[in-house]
Chain A
């Protein structure tokens, strides 16, 4: 029998240092949770009573006129505006973003990849108000030229959102693809698969959870985006019927109206209720994304 080696003990000096550092780290972690909870409580406190009291009316009317007498708090047009912009933008950004991710990870040479990744990261660093500016100054006249009566509309918002989500999709998508073991690629190629067959039949199925996470985080980003959509969507609280119809999103409504709403009044509370809804929507999206990540680690 060989005796088990004695476990090395921390010296007397390192123990208090260890204790302090551990405490600090714990404090940092806890503070993050506290902040999240505080945000939740703050928004909830202002809006939850209103939300619970008016939820039926909010979800059955399209008329958002909080300053009329009597006020109307119909949400359907705003929800439709948000869904419209997010949906349209995903139709544009998901195929392009994932295709770009595949290109970067599988087809681009090393030099190109490094260069393009820097460019993509630069794109991600552009502030949203600048995107709004681009939407107003460039897309607006372009859309009018293409036949829209007003260039500031749902389509403009969707394109701007798509451009803003692309960097996220590309870099997360690329990460997901690069996480696929090299041996899968070799195995597929060694069986006579062409590069496309390898991507299509092995790589995409193998990384589909990671790609789903990228798309979901993109959705979360779109839902929450405020400044750019406020500037370019035309801000009309109506359910859109064509691509060129102006729309208004939940976020833009809060940003535009909170400054004018009487503190503590119904309008004010209604805007916080919108905030709760937004919080809930992004929370659900992130939760799904989180689930997908976990499942990927296990599977």
Chain B
């Protein structure tokens, strides 16, 4: 399996000022699979995720030690905008940018210079279809993206993340602000997508990880307690803390 990891985090430590929020984490993301990261709030899951596409750099006090590689290349040696197109991010709260639905999805392709209308049309339709939103919005692509419902906006955010044709799709608690029906639809979408890209999903919902993650990692207070194939971890965790968390004793 080692050669089949697309993203590798090696001895990753993240500090904000003096406070280490992620400590010495070594973790890999399989090429065609979903990695679920679970753990109580404040365990460093989201910080870990932002280190993958270096949006953590936006945080002035953040320091990252160790390294993250994408397809064998250290992400610090990659061009930032290129890295962020290859490692797409869906944030917890849906963000419809204040432009039309069409422009929301065409935003990133336009930035890399796609100009032909037919090409853009194709990308927009493909991404909205992949995000299970196309049927609901195909007749009103000119409508402001911000006027969609929360669940629709989250799928719009997902469609936008897909518009760069990323290698890795990161989702940070994507279901926190949306209804269960939309959550299930997006989960189904992710199961479809994993044949085309690696997916990293930070979630507070244990059952969500259990449903769709191939590999699950458990983090606690910035440490990676253990990780393993989801089926194994949920049935037979090696670490007592994992067992306690999965059994609902804390968190």
Residue positions of A touching B, CB distance < 8 A: 181, 183-184, 186-194, 197, 201-202, 205-206, 299
Contact (Cβ within 8 A) A183 B95: yes
Give complex CA distance A159, B95 in Å: 42
Residues of B within 8 A of A188 (CB): 97, 107
Residues of A within 8 A of B107 (CB): 188, 191, 193, 201
Residues from chain B with Cβ under 8 Å of A191 in the complex:
84-85, 88, 107-108, 111, 160-161, 163-164
Minimum CB–CB distance from A264 to chain B (whole Å) comes to 56
Contact A183 B91 (CB under 8 A): yes
Report the nearest B residue to A206, measured CB to CB: B98
Interface residues as binary, B152-174 with A (CB distance below 8 Å gives 1, 0 otherwise): 00000100110110000000000
Q: List 11 A-B contacts (CB under 8 A).
A: A181-B95, A183-B95, A187-B91, A187-B97, A187-B157, A188-B107, A189-B55, A189-B84, A192-B80, A192-B85, A193-B108
Interface contact B164-A190, CB-CB below 8 Å: no
Q: What residue of chain A has the Cβ atom nearest to residue B50's Cβ?
A: A190
Q: How many of B's residues come within 8 Å of A, CB to CB?
A: 28
A192 with B82: CB separation less than 8 A:
yes
Task: Determine whether the beta carbon of A193 is less than 8 Å from that of B81.
Answer: yes
Contact B53 A190 (CB under 8 A): yes
Q: Which residue of A lies closest to B163 (CB)?
A: A191
Instruction: State whether the Cβ of B200 lies closer than 8 Å to any Cβ in chain A.
Output: no
Q: Tell whether, in the assembled complex, residue B58 and residue A186 are in contact, meaning their CB atoms are under 8 Å apart.
A: yes
Chain B residues contacting A299 (CB-CB under 8 Å) are 144
Q: Does B137 contact A (CB under 8 A)?
A: no
Are A192 and B97 in touch, CB under 8 angstroms? no
Q: Are A192 and B111 in contact (CB under 8 A)?
A: yes
Q: Is A184 in contact with B161, judged by CB distance below 8 angstroms?
A: no
Encoded as 1 (CB less than 8 Å from any A CB) or 0, chain B from 95 to 114 comes to: 10111000000011011100
Over the window 79-93 of chain B, the binary record of Cβ atoms lying under 8 Å from chain A Cβ atoms (1 yes, 0 no) is 011111100110101
B89 to chain A, nearest CB (A): 4
Chief secondary structure at chain A's binding surface: helix
Q: Is A183's CB under 8 angstroms from B98's CB?
A: no
Q: A193-B108, A201-B107 known; 12 other A-B pairs, CB under 8 Å?
A: A186-B91, A187-B157, A189-B58, A190-B89, A191-B84, A191-B163, A192-B80, A192-B84, A192-B164, A193-B111, A202-B98, A205-B98
Residues in A whose Cβ lies below 8 Å from that of B82: 192
Taking a contact as CB atoms under 8 Å apart, the answer to whether B95 and A187 are in contact is yes
Task: Name A190's closest neighbour in chain B (CB-CB).
Answer: B89
Closest 9 pairs (CB-CB, A-B):
A192-B84, A192-B81, A192-B85, A190-B89, A187-B95, A191-B108, A206-B98, A183-B95, A190-B55
In the complex, the answer to whether B81 meets A184 with C-beta atoms within 8 Å is no
Question: Which of chain B's residues have a CB closer than 8 A to the CB of A192?
Answer: 80-85, 108, 111-112, 164
Chain A residues whose C-beta falls within 8 Å of the C-beta of B83 in the assembled complex: 192
Q: Quick check: A190 and B111 within 8 Å, CB to CB? A: no
Q: Decide if A186 touches B55 in the complex (CB within 8 Å).
A: yes
**A193 vs B81: C-alpha distance when bound (angstroms):** 6
Q: Which residues of A contact B97 (CB under 8 A)?
A: 184, 187-188, 202, 206
Indicate the member of A187, A189, A197 with the most B CB atoms within 10 Å: A187
Task: Take A189-B55, A192-B84 as given contacts and tell me if A183 and B93 are in contact as well, using a CB distance cutoff of 8 Å.
Answer: yes
Shortest distance from the beta carbon of B227 to any chain A beta carbon, whole Å:
25
> Whose C-beta in chain B lies nearest to the C-beta of A191?
B108
